């Protein structure tokens, strides 16, 4: 993974803008499947972990973590990724959408469920495609969910998305 084209660092924003995000995170740049997306993040876990938590040391990565029984039935809830750092836990829902809005909307509800189960964890929705409505939902309802965009060469964070939505 290259240095993020659109990213956030401790000092503030890089020169991200809406046009760049829309250009970089398109269907032509998405992964073939969600599993391949997860494999890619796992292969580049040191870089990814540093980008989402620069002060933390990654201790463990868990894929398809069993979160227990669903609140509404007998089915098990599986979390795509759980990253355990020395300074906290990150729960990650991966989406590599074909139908962008529908799948990301479902991703937001999954993240809200995880936030209920794990109130001390940092919850991230990680997508290969951008949807403006998703970022607006997160902002408008002040959801404690981070929105991270990832493709094979770039990452962008909710900070960038919020910057062009608000200004």
**14, two tokens:** 């890089």
Residue 31 is predicted with a pLDDT of 87
Residue 68 is predicted with a pLDDT of 72
Residue 94 lies in a domain: yes
Residue 156 lies in a domain: yes
Helix axes of 158-165 and 132-140: crossing angle, nearest 10 degrees: 90
> CATH code at 26?
3.40.1350.10
Residue 45 lies in a domain: yes
Could you tell me how far CA 113 lies from the centroid of its own chain?
A: 15
Residue 59 lies in a domain: yes
Q: Are strands 155-157 and 145-150 parallel, antiparallel or unpaired?
A: antiparallel
Q: Determine if the pTM surpasses 0.85.
A: no
Burial class (CB in 10 A: 0-12, 13-18, 19+), 165: middle
Residue 160 lies in a domain: yes
Residue 15 is predicted with a pLDDT of 43
Q: CB count, 10 Å around CB of 70? A: 11
User: Are the CB atoms for 53 and 162 separated by under 8 Å?
Assistant: no
**Into how many domains does the chain fold?**
1
**73, two tokens:** 């039935």
Residue 89 is predicted with a pLDDT of 96
Residue 4 lies in a domain: no
Residue 103 lies in a domain: yes
- Provide the domain limits for residue 84: 16-165
Range list of H helices, 10-157: 18-24, 34-43, 45-52, 100-117, 132-140
Residue 9 lies in a domain: no
Of 68, 63, 118, 127, the closest CA to residue 89 belongs to 118
User: Are the CB atoms for 129 and 79 separated by under 8 Å?
Assistant: no
pLDDT digit string (tens) for the chain, length 167 residues: 333 334 433 333 344 456 676 677 776 677 889 999 999 999 989 989 988 898 999 999 999 988 776 666 666 778 999 999 999 999 999 998 887 778 888 999 999 989 988 999 999 999 888 877 787 788 788 888 888 888 877 776 654 444 434 44
């Amino acid at each position: 993974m290259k240095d993020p084209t659109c990213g956030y660092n401790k000092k503030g924003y890089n020169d991200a803008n809406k046009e760049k995000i829309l250009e970089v995170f398109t269907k032509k740049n998405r992964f073939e499947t969600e599993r391949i997306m997860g494999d890619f993040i796992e292969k580049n876990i040191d870089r990814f972990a540093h980008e989402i938590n620069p002060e933390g040391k990654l201790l463990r990565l868990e894929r398809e973590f069993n979160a227990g029984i669903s609140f509404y039935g007998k089915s098990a809830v599986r979390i795509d990724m759980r990253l355990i750092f020395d300074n906290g836990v990150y729960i990650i829902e991966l989406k590599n959408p074909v139908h962008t809005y529908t799948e990301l909307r479902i991703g937001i509800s999954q993240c809200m469920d995880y936030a209920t189960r794990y109130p001390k964890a940092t919850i991230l929705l990680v997508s290969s495609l951008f949807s403006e409505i998703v970022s607006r939902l997160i902002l408008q309802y002040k959801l404690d969910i981070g929105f991270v965009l990832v493709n094979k060469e770039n990452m962008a964070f909710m900070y960038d998305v919020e910057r062009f939505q608000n200004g």
